[in-house]
Structure 1
């Protein structure tokens, strides 16, 4: 019985998050109440408070459902040659994988909520959430670009820090443009081409 109750509680929590995701995306975080989320999920407001403290708690839970740190993206890549690949190839494959995930509806909606449909109020600071995501991405990119530099794979006078900033800024600009009109282009196809082009420019020429 306890196991069934735990499973039911988990299902309730997921249903509430699904409802919150739809409401936040449709009308914004500030304009959505906990009562509306409960009604949309076909539940009571008490069910919401059982699982979440407030809207900020719900928002962070939504982000946790889709956020995958760069290192976890690498672990998820199904490529037997990955362990033997260069740091630049690891960055390329992980970036491609991340771009493919962004085209999944849930990932697109949550990212759009954080960037375009969330205002400052109460315990919610959307800029801080965006900065935290950017910092995590930069730190992982910097680590792999540092390995690339140690192996002589980067062009002369290009620091790992600058390489990480260049790639992160390229991806951030691409995501920003895409979220304004996701139907205009495939972020996966365009993003993969941009990542490959940029990494080609950053990579040192093979020794003669």
Structure 2
């Protein structure tokens, strides 16, 4: 009997979630597609129908995370509040989600591993760069008219923000220590204050 589209989507999601669990627990290189199929309770044929290989599953993981980050950039771009207020709210939301949402944290941590392990893989690296370029474009549109861009380009601003936020996420992953409310307040204040300060410097 042919499966409905909804059933196929449910099977794919079951495989995806089982894959995240195993990859996080056993490691990327140590986890096989057969392991994931058994954990998801599907046949090898079913798993390869949805993901042609492990790299395709890793691309899906990275892609879903990028969709989330794109939604954050969209929120900043469409917010009626000032840019600094919007960034304050959005960056705080990200850090709190990482701390409180275990499923998101696994996804983020796996994405960090994928970026490191596949840095020399031209195909995977190109995909990562391609999705980042879309984020850069949207971010640049959001900040293009900001006073901040008088002293640095939108691209330079994106790199600074990405380094600060990404660095804190990587630090939590490596040390397995989550930021406290006080840590988040300090980090967000520093990032937003620095963002505002660039604009003030440009006016002097």
Structures share fold, TM-score greater than 0.5:
yes
Q: Distance in 1 between matches of 2:91 and 2:131?
A: 15
Q: Distance in 2 between matches of 1:113 and 1:13?
A: 18
Q: Is 1:54 aligned to 2:53, yes or no?
A: yes
Cα distance change of structure 1 residues 182 and 121 upon mapping to structure 2, 3 Å threshold: closer
Q: 1:30 offset after TM fit, Å?
A: 1.7
Question: Aligned pairs, how many?
Answer: 197
Q: 1:75 offset after TM fit, Å?
A: 4.8
Pick one of 128, 136, 139 that aligns with 1:138.
136
Pick one of 150, 157, 176 that aligns with 2:151.
157
Q: Distance in 1 between matches of 2:189 and 2:43?
A: 47
Q: Distance in 2 between matches of 1:40 and 1:124?
A: 30
Partner of 1:68: 67
Structure 2, unaligned runs of 5 or more: none
Q: TM (normalized to structure 1)?
A: 0.74
Q: 1:95 offset after TM fit, Å?
A: 2.7
Q: 1:123 offset after TM fit, Å?
A: 7.1
SS at match of 1:185: coil
Q: Distance in 2 between matches of 1:203 and 1:121?
A: 34
Q: Is 1:90 aligned to 2:83, yes or no?
A: no
Partner of 2:111: 114
Q: 1:47 offset after TM fit, Å?
A: 1.5
Contact 2:84 2:195 in 1 (8 A): yes
Q: Distance in 2 between matches of 1:161 and 1:49?
A: 39
Q: Distance in 1 between matches of 2:161 and 2:75?
A: 21
Contact 1:19 1:40 in 2 (8 A): yes
Q: Is 1:181 aligned to 2:178, yes or no?
A: no
Cα distance change of structure 1 residues 112 and 71 upon mapping to structure 2, 3 Å threshold: closer
Q: 1:63 offset after TM fit, Å?
A: 2.6
Partner of 1:199: 195
Pick one of 141, 162, 166 that aligns with 1:168.
162
Q: 1:132 offset after TM fit, Å?
A: 4.3
Partner of 2:102: 105
Cα distance change of structure 1 residues 155 and 128 upon mapping to structure 2, 3 Å threshold: closer
